[in-house]
């Protein structure tokens, strides 16, 4: 897919800039949910884990992929759920 490293690097740098722009606007009030939410997003590694575990041949890579899927799903599910729980506390009441 991203065979050309220069293209990948371009995406990386642009995404970093977008990240800085977007995240600088998050108020200190929400920094903890930001952290747990971005944590969930770093669980995107699950995509790599799926590729490693889903190959036809079952090898040592499959085993590593399996553990990686477990880790990354804890990250994704735990991260989004706990963020949702926290944001619910900020949502309910407005004096």
Q: Which of residues 3-62 bind other proteins (CB under 8 A)?
A: 3, 5, 8, 11-12, 15-16, 18-20, 22-62
The least distance separating other proteins from the CB of residue 22, rounded to whole angstroms, comes to 5
Shortest distance, position 67 Cβ to other proteins, whole Å:
6
Asked whether the CA dihedral 43, 49, 54, 60 is positive or negative, the reply is: negative
In the block, tokens 């949910």 appear at 33
Number of residues near other proteins (by CB under 8 A): 85
Q: Whole-number minimum distance, CB 6 to other proteins, in Å? A: 9
How far from 37 is each of 10, 58, 88, CA to CA, in Å?
25, 33, 14
Identify residues 62-81 at the interface with other proteins (CB under 8 A).
Answer: 62, 64-81
Distance (Å, whole) CA 2 – CA 8: 6
């Amino acid at each position: 897919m991203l065979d050309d490293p220069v293209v990948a690097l371009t995406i990386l740098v642009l995404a970093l800039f977008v990240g800085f722009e977007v995240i600088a606007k998050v108020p200190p009030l929400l920094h903890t949910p930001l952290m747990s939410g971005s944590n969930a997003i770093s669980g995107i590694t699950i995509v790599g884990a799926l590729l490693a575990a889903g190959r036809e041949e079952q090898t040592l890579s499959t085993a590593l992929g399996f553990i990686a899927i477990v880790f990354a799903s804890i990250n994704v599910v735990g991260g989004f759920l706990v963020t949702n729980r926290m944001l619910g506390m900020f949502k309910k009441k407005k004096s």
